[in-house]
Amino acid sequence: MKKFFDLLFKRQIITPILIFIIAIIFAKVTSFMIKKLFTRGKDSFEKKRRTTIIELVTKVLNFFIYAIAIMMVLNIFGVDTNGILASLGIAGVVLGLALQDTAQDLMSGIYIILENYYVIGDYIKINNFEGYVTSISLKSTKVRSTTGEVYIFSNRNMSSVVNLSQEDAGIFLEIPTAYEEKVEKIETALQEVIDQMKKEKMIFDNSSYLGVNSFASSAINYAIILYCKSGTQWKVKREALKRIKEKYEDEDIKIPYDQIEVHNGKSI
C-alpha cells in the first residue's frame, strides 16, 4: 500500500491531475462570471446578442486554458514545448493555405457576430429555409425549422440572410368575402376583431384595417395588417383567422368557396 501511495503522489502523476482539475474549474468559473457580468441588467434582445458573443468568447478562452494546461503537463514530463510551438506555427501556415474555406468560415463567423447579422434565438430565412438559430460557432451556424429539421450552414454561405426577429413582425391578410355583403358591415366586423386583439395585447396598436384590396372572380378581398412581437406571428395569424371566421358566422357573412356540381349523366 505504501508503494502505491508513493507512486500515486509522485510529481509526474499528481501534478498533471491537479493541473487538469484546476484548468476545468478555472474554465467553468470564468465562463460563468463572463456570462453574469455581460448579461446583467440587459433587455431580452441585448441578452440574446451578448449570449452569442459570450458563447464564442468562452469557447476560444477554454481552448487556450486547456492548451496551456497541456503544455504545463508536457513540461513536467520533460518535453520541449518550444519546439512544439515552433512546429505548430509552421503547420498553421500550411493548414491556412490548405484550408482556405475554413479560414473564410472563421472570418465570416466573426463578422456575423460583430455586425449583428443574427444571434442565437433569432428566426432567419436563408435561401428557401426558415428557422431558429440554435447555435453559432466560428465555422458554422445551426438553424432549426419549426418542424424540427436542423440545417447546418457554413458561415461563408450566410451572406444573404433575412433576419425576421430584429423588428416587429407584420402579418398581411386578405379576407375573401361574398360580393353581396355590404362593405360597411365587413369593415365594422373586421375592425371589431382587430380592436379586441389589441385590447388583449395580442397585436400592437399600429395594426389596422386597410380596405378593399382586390376584386376576385367570386369574392371581394378585404385586407388587414397586424403587427406583433417577432416570433409570435404564426400564432397570431392562426388566432386572427379563427376569430374572423367566428365573427363572420355570428354576423351571417358569407365566405365564398369553390363548389363542384355532379350529375348522373342525364340531361340537365
145-154 residue pLDDT tens: 878 888 888 8
Residue 109 belongs to a domain: no
Residue 128 belongs to a domain: yes
For the chain, the average pLDDT equals 78
CATH number assigned to the domain comprising residue 183: 3.30.70.100
Nearest to 207 by CA among 179, 182, 243, 178: 243
pTM of the model: 0.50
pLDDT over threshold 50, residue 241: yes
Residue 258 belongs to a domain: no
Angle 244-247-252 from CA coordinates, rounded to 5°: 125
Residue 108 belongs to a domain: no
Distance of alpha carbon 226 from alpha carbon 187, whole angstroms = 15
Query: What is the total count of domains within the chain?
Result: 3
CB 116 within 8 A of CB 49: yes
54 and 18 inside one domain: yes
CB 254 within 8 A of CB 178: yes
Kindly state the cell numbers that stand for 146: 419549426
Kindly state the cell numbers that stand for 187: 369593415
159 and 183 inside one domain: no
221 and 152 inside one domain: no
CB 226 within 8 A of CB 175: no
> Would strands 140-144 and 150-154 be described as parallel, antiparallel, or unpaired?
antiparallel
Exposed / middle / buried, residue 231 (Cβ in 10 Å: 0-12, 13-18, 19+): middle
Give residue 186's Cα distance to chain centre.
38
Average pLDDT over residues 4-10: 49
Give the residue numbers spanning the domain of 226.
169-250
- Could you read off the pLDDT of 58-96 as tens digits, one per residue? 777 888 888 888 878 777 777 666 666 666 665 555 555
Q: Count of alpha carbons within 13 Å of 131, Cβ hemisphere only?
A: 19
H/E/C letters for each residue in 47-114?
HHHHHHHHHHHHHHHHHHHHHHHHHHHHHHCCCCHHHHHHHHHHHHHHHHHHCHHHHHHHHHHHHHHH
> Among 55-59, 131-135, 145-149, 207-211, where is mean pLDDT lowest?
55-59
